[in-house]
């Protein structure tokens, strides 16, 4: 049995794992996809200390993974179905039927992109509809694409896609972008980008793949059609907490509520990173929260008799 199981191998989970394994605490990370989490969707990171020339999200994730493994950490591929409690033990049931146990559980499952929820979206996922410009941008070389959203991620993706696409629409339902000012300046000065504000996508259409979108101008109440080859959805994140089944306290949006020690309402269960309710979602804050969770997880273990 592991002393600590961490669900999620993004920056928060890896940081927690590095801290614990360095202190010789047997730790297992369960990761559903690839270790690195949302880091893998970030082309260039310029605000993480120690990399004056910037670093790619993939490279940073690989460095963290190597550091975790170097100190004796283990990584298991799998998806958690549910968690249960048995005294001081935490029971983690995977969707493949496997059952794992630990004294401490750290939830670092992060968040995922929200979907638009419009007609045609589900039909064309992988056929022109994407939630990751860095993953799929190259497939749209010299084509027309649209980015839906108005925050930092949406604006960054629109700018990134101009490297490949013939032109890029950015469509935002409000009359002002929420993105940082410097990003907005880059956006507005890029000749490849066409800005549509106060506009929503009502439908995504095509035969075998995306061919057009139906949009509505909210100010003029006018509906029009735009010929398009790709749609990149970037309208925010939702926490990956579906497996909690009401055991852990969350806010109305599903983000886990923690205290300053990253403790949840259940003794011995901690949470960190983009899955928790907080005011700032950054790589460096996720790493910090992972270290805090690990520190107090270790204190919890020390207080358990027989551990």
Q: Where are the domains of the chain?
A: 2-113+237-303, 122-233
Instruction: Tell me if the domain spanning 2-113+237-303 has CATH number 3.50.50.60.
Output: yes
The closest alpha carbon to 192, from 168, 228, 172, belongs to: 168
How confident is the model over 199-209, as pLDDT tens digits? 999 999 999 99
pTM, to two decimals:
0.80
**Would you state the pLDDT for residue 33?**
87
* pLDDT level of residue 141 (50, 70, 90 thresholds): very high
C-alpha 118/C-alpha 125 separation (Å) is: 12
Q: What torsion do the CA atoms of 70, 76, 82, 84 make, to the nearest 10 degrees?
A: -60
Considering the candidates 21, 23, 81, 132, report the single residue annotated as catalytic. 132
End-to-end CA distance of the chain: 11
Considering the candidates 136, 229, 272, 274, report the single residue annotated as catalytic. 136
Domains 2-113+237-303 and 122-233 equal at CATH topology level: yes
C-alpha 230/C-alpha 218 separation (Å) is: 23
C-alpha 134/C-alpha 41 separation (Å) is: 6
- CA dist 162 to 30, 132, 229, 268, 284, Å? 36, 14, 14, 47, 28
Considering the candidates 23, 135, 175, 251, report the single residue annotated as catalytic. 135
| CATH architecture of the domain covering 122-233 | 3-Layer(bba) Sandwich (3.50)
Active site residue 21: no
Mean pLDDT of the chain: 95
Active site residue 132: yes
State the average pLDDT over residues 271-292. Answer: 95
């Amino acid at each position: 049995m592991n002393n600590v199981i961490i669900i999620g191998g993004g920056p928060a989970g890896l940081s927690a794992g590095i801290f614990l394994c360095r202190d010789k605490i047997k730790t297992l990370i369960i990761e559903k996809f690839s270790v690195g989490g949302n880091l893998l969707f970030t082309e260039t990171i310029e605000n993480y200390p120690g990399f004056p020339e910037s670093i790619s999200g993939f490279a940073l994730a690989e460095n963290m993974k190597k550091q975790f493994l170097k100190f004796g950490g283990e990584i298991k591929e799998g998806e958690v179905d549910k968690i249960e409690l048995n005294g001081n033990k935490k029971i983690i049931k995977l969707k493949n039927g496997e059952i794992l146990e630990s004294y401490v559980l750290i939830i670092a499952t992060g968040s995922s992109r929200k979907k638009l929820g419009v007609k045609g979206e589900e039909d064309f996922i992988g056929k022109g509809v994407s939630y990751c410009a860095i993953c799929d941008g190259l497939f749209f070389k010299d084509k027309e694409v649209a980015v839906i959203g108005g925050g930092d991620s949406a604006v960054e993706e629109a700018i990134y896609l101009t490297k490949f696409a013939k032109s890029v629409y950015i469509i935002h339902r409000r009359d002002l972008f929420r993105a940082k000012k410097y990003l907005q300046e880059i956006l507005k000065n890029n000749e490849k980008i066409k800005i549509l504000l106060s506009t929503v996508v009502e439908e995504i259409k095509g035969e075998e793949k995306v061919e057009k979108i139906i949009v509505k101008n909210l100010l003029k109440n006018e509906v029009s059609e735009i010929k398009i080859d790709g749609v990149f959805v970037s309208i925010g994140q939702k926490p990956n907490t579906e497996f909690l089944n009401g055991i852990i306290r969350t806010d109305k949006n599903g983000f886990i509520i923690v205290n300053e020690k990253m403790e949840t309402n259940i003794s011995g269960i901690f949470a960190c990173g983009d899955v928790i309710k907080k005011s700032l979602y950054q790589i460096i804050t996720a790493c910090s929260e992972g270290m805090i969770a690990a520190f107090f997880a270790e204190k919890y273990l020390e207080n358990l008799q027989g551990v």
